[in-house]
Amino acid sequence: MANSDSRVSEEWDENGGGAGKGTLENHTCTEIIIVRHGETDWNALRKAQGQLDVDLNEAGRQQAAALAGRLSKEHDISAIYSSDLKRALDTAEMIGIRCGGLEVIKDLDLRERHVGDLQGLQFQDFAKHPKAYEAFCSTDLEVPGGGESRVQLDKRCISSLQRIAKKH
């Protein structure tokens, strides 16, 4: 997350349009930079990880190190949040080290989508599990085996990002 800064914006009414008052108001904005973890062996094999804890592979560690170097030069990072899953946490910790030794804050709500019975399967095999595949493709059906719908995923992640933004 980059440091907050002040922005000048037009005052908006409750419908999202200009209020027409001609006044300007200072607002503090929080810039959130979202990154994906580096590659895992399961990514390379096109297997659904979901919320299973799969480590970064060598290519993933190199990707994370390269991203950490880039972010340390281009952004003033003030906080780092990550899922608790090792692939995400290892990526975030590399960024934290390169960005002044920032501690990574774990947030379980930043985990990937739980895809239930599809976790651990290759994507090409999803169709062999028609009920789970149908739920996976829909927006509002929970995937059998403890999986979540896309609506549930969206609510979980948006709630987490809103909490993070309020803190900064």
Tell me the DSSP string of 63-122: HHHHHHHHHHHH--B--EEE-SSHHHHHHHHHHHHHTTSPPEEE-GGGSPPP-GGGTTSB
- Same domain membership, residue 81 and residue 40: yes
Which residues are known to be catalytic? 37, 112
Q: Do 78 and 46 share a structural domain?
A: yes
Q: Has 12 been labeled as part of a binding site?
A: no
- 43-61 mean pLDDT: 98
134 and 149 co-located in one domain: yes
DSSP 18: B
Domain span at 21 = 1-31
Q: What is the pLDDT of residue 23?
A: 46
Check whether 5 is labelled as a binding-site residue.
no
CATH number at residue 134: 3.40.50.1240
Instruction: Supply the Cα-derived Rg of the chain in whole angstroms.
Output: 19
Q: Assign 1 a pLDDT band (cuts: 50, 70, 90).
A: low
Answer yes or no: do 15 and 63 share one domain: no
Whether residues 22 and 40 fall in one domain: no
Same domain membership, residue 69 and residue 10: no
Is 41 annotated in some ligand binding site?
yes
Q: Is residue 107 domain-shared with residue 95, that is, in the same domain? A: yes
Higher per-residue confidence, 22 vs 96: 96
Same domain for 63 and 77: yes
Is this structure's pTM higher than 0.75? Answer: yes
Place of tokens 């200072």: 26
Q: Does 42 belong to an annotated binding site? A: yes
Q: How many domains does the chain have?
A: 2
Q: Residue 146 carries which DSSP code?
A: T
In terms of domains, do 79 and 20 share one?
no
Q: Is there a single domain that holds both residue 142 and residue 114? A: yes
Mean pLDDT of 96-104: 96
Contact between 129 and 158 under an 8 Å Cβ cutoff? The reply is no
Q: Is the pLDDT of residue 7 over 50?
A: no
Question: How do residues 111-157 score in pLDDT, each as one tens digit?
Answer: 999 999 999 999 999 999 999 999 999 999 999 999 999 999 999 99
Pairwise CA distance, residues 139 & 150, whole Å: 5
One domain, residues 14 and 51: no
| Rounded Cα gap, residues 140 and 25, in angstroms | 39
Q: Does 17 share its domain with 85?
A: no
